[in-house]
Amino acid sequence: MGVVEIITGVERRRRWRPEDKVRILAETEEPGASIAIVARRHDISRGLLWHWRRAMHGSQAGLSSAEGSAFLPVTVVGDSRAAPQVPVDRSIQIMLPGGVCVRVGRGADLKVLRGVLMALRS
């Protein structure tokens, strides 16, 4: 008859008390805390910490993330450091033979301008 060997060992799956979970999760909420570092410190996976966080925040809020979301009012203010507006000259100069210069400003009537140019050329 064969020999049967029974190997026993410590169960790898630990059972965490709720107060331990809260204490460990509080470490992740501290400024500058890293989920990975906290997980390594307590020898647990990052995924388990994220699972605990989702479960904890979901049970505390009692709301889904969409229901707990809200828009905040925002006021858009101009940049005080912006360069001042410099008026831009939007005119053109037309130099005709004989030293005649015609300045045409923005919004000039094209029919009138055509008539003036034809009169000056003749």
Classify residue 117 as exposed, middle or buried by CB count within 10 Å of its CB (0-12, 13-18, 19+).
middle
Sequence ranges of the domains in the chain: 18-65, 92-121
Which two three-digit tokens encode residue 95?
């130099």
Quote the pLDDT of residue 21.
Answer: 92
Which two three-digit tokens encode residue 70?
């809200």
Distance, CA of 46 to CA of 42 (rounded, Å): 10
pLDDT value at 114 more than 70: yes
Q: Which 3 state secondary structure label does DSSP give 94?
A: strand
Distance, CA of 118 to CA of 122 (rounded, Å): 6
Quote the pLDDT of residue 66.
Answer: 53
pLDDT value at 63 more than 50: no
Q: Which 3 state secondary structure label does DSSP give 96?
A: strand
Find residue 96's DSSP bridge partners.
100
Which of 97 and 65 is assigned the larger pLDDT? 97
* pTM of the predicted structure, to 2 decimals: 0.41
